[in-house]
Amino acid sequence: MLSIPGQPVRTCDGTSRRELMRVGGLSLLGLGLQDLFALQAKGATPASTLAIKPRAKSVILLFLQGGPSHIDIWDPKPEAPSNVRGEFKPIKTKVPGIEVSETMPLLAQQMDKITLIRSMSYTPSGLFNHTAAMYQMMTGWAPDKVSPSGQLEPPSPRDFPHMGCQIAKMRPPEGAMLPFVEMPRPLQESNVVGKGGAAGFLGKAFDPYRLYQDPAKDVRLDDLTLRPEVNQARLKDRFELLKGINGSMKDLEKAVSSYALTDYYEKAYDLVLSGKARDAFDLAQESDKTRDRYGRHTFGQSALMARRLIEAGTRFVQVNWPSVANGDPETSSWDTHFANFGPLKNLHCPKLDSALSALIEDMDQRGMLADTLVLAIGEFGRSPRLGVSTSGNTNSPDGRDHWPYCYTAAIFGAGVKRGALYGKSDAQASAPVDNPVHPVDLVATIYHSLGIDPNMEILNDLKQPRMLVEGKPGAGLFG
């Protein structure tokens, strides 16, 4: 019999930035970024006084939207009944005693660098479907208004901020670099787009930079490129002219302060003129061997781009699995109600295996795992028993439904134990039997790793005090 744990759900009672920061429309510099930097500084929060040594400087979140099947990928149960264990066999990994599914042979060889959390779990009080579950994972707060279907209202300025937006505010990059990048598409279920993926009551100044393009194809970066009529020499002349005006005409500076030269102009100038961000998006600078290792597909090239952005100084990069929930499992969706084994074997897992294993190996060889925390996770897992309905959806005999009661996350870098398991599931991967981890606890762990106190007080849209996240860090994950 499948067991369902009874962990309670935690509930909670600015000026606009351009969505893609178009360069060249408003200021004397021909730039449109200085407003962003000014807004960010205005809303900046002092560093936390939490008495821990920060281990991470940056974060990569590989979000596997749709809910990948934990039992068919990370947590095989070969002794379970056939209608639970499924078609795949376990294989040994580089760490004795740890096995994964045969769908992940490349990851098996990198297991000595990561921890698998096999006890992710929450009880779905209105959180059984994708939108609400994603909001919880991204913000660290369960939504307070959830329809019976699990759908939420569209994004609102009253939403809790995405953790990447909070990190962008509290840990801005050193120098002029994009603090938070999301790609290659937004969070989405049906007609609800971007819920949980924005800055909410922090204000749009802290929204992510959204690269909604396919990195496996040619990427256009018009917003990080000088306008044709404003070449580099002309931009430099305007910059020097404006500095001279501000240096010699203090009264004029006060009178036109909205156009005065400040540090924010300089950051915008540096960001565009230096080409640092633009270069980070340029995968042509990577060798064919490296690009092939990650996989010449959207997810693989997005993971490679994430590594490049972190190297360039970005604090938080989120790579969303390149298909919406409720998509076609025969093409690219993890939401495998109507076909589970064929799509996992032939499509999804080979892409995940190539991208994730390459990212682990590549970052380790470059020394980046010393201060970058990487997490691969979905909003929930899939039902251990085949062909049953757990969320009101219809499932085929070989399909798996939503299952938030127990699933798996892969985490590595920034002091996380290497070659380890954290938590344990029961004999059918239906419930944790050791160290259950709620999604909000995982969000708290990310903050903790960056030296940000998860219990620090913030003010919501009504200026009411709230904790940053209602969760506890998983200190046992770190070595």
Domain boundaries, the chain: 58-225+274-477
Within 366-458, where are the H helices? Answer: 439-449
The pTM assigned to this predicted structure is: 0.83
Within 206-304, strands assigned E span 209-210
How does DSSP classify residue 446? H
Regions of the chain short of the pLDDT cut 50: 1-32, 44-52, 235, 238-239, 241-243, 245-264
Rounded to whole angstroms, what are the CA distances from 66 to 52, 130, 324, 380, 381?
A: 35, 7, 7, 8, 9
Superfamily of domain 58-225+274-477: Alkaline Phosphatase, subunit A (3.40.720.10)
Q: How far is CA 347 from the centre of its chain?
A: 22
pLDDT at 473 (0 to 100): 92
Q: Are 434 and 423 in contact (CB under 8 A)?
A: yes
Residue type (1 letter), 44: A
Q: Which helix (H) or strand (E) holds 105?
A: helix 105-108
CA dihedral 297, 318, 10, 118 (to 10 degrees): 50
